[in-house]
Amino acid sequence: MIGTQHGTHVAHALPDAEQIQWRTSRFGAYEREREQAWTCTCRRIQYTLIHAGGVAFIRKVEDEKSVWDSPPTRLPEGEGLWTRLVMGEAR
């Protein structure tokens, strides 16, 4: 489902889901942010997997004033975290 026009629907978080250490977004801190995958805009909270400057992170948007980024990781780890997020294994 990743990359489809309507975006992915994240599963409900599992009770023992990994807790992502969300931080206030450093939007603009990286050059050339590229969106790799995103969740459907029909949900209140949107998540986007971003690659920028050789790192990956997930951006969480609750509303205009509540934007969070996961800690940046190497690209494969970012893909893994994205998969766990979508599956409900991380939130």
Q: Which residues bind Zn ion (CB under 5 A)?
A: 40, 42
Give CA–CA dist 89/18, Å, rounded. 6
Give CA–CA dist 87/51, Å, rounded. 20
Choose between 31 and 42: whose C-beta lies nearer to Zn ion.
42
Least distance between Zn ion and beta carbon 40 (Å)? 3
Choose between 24 and 42: whose C-beta lies nearer to Zn ion.
42
Least distance between Zn ion and beta carbon 9 (Å)? 6
Least distance between Zn ion and beta carbon 41 (Å)? 7
Choose between 4 and 66: whose C-beta lies nearer to Zn ion.
4
Q: What is the C-alpha radius of gyration for the chain, rounded to an integer number of angstroms? A: 12
**Residue 81: Cβ within 10 Å count:** 21
Q: Of 53, 66, 55, 63, give the one whose Cα is nearest residue 25.
A: 66
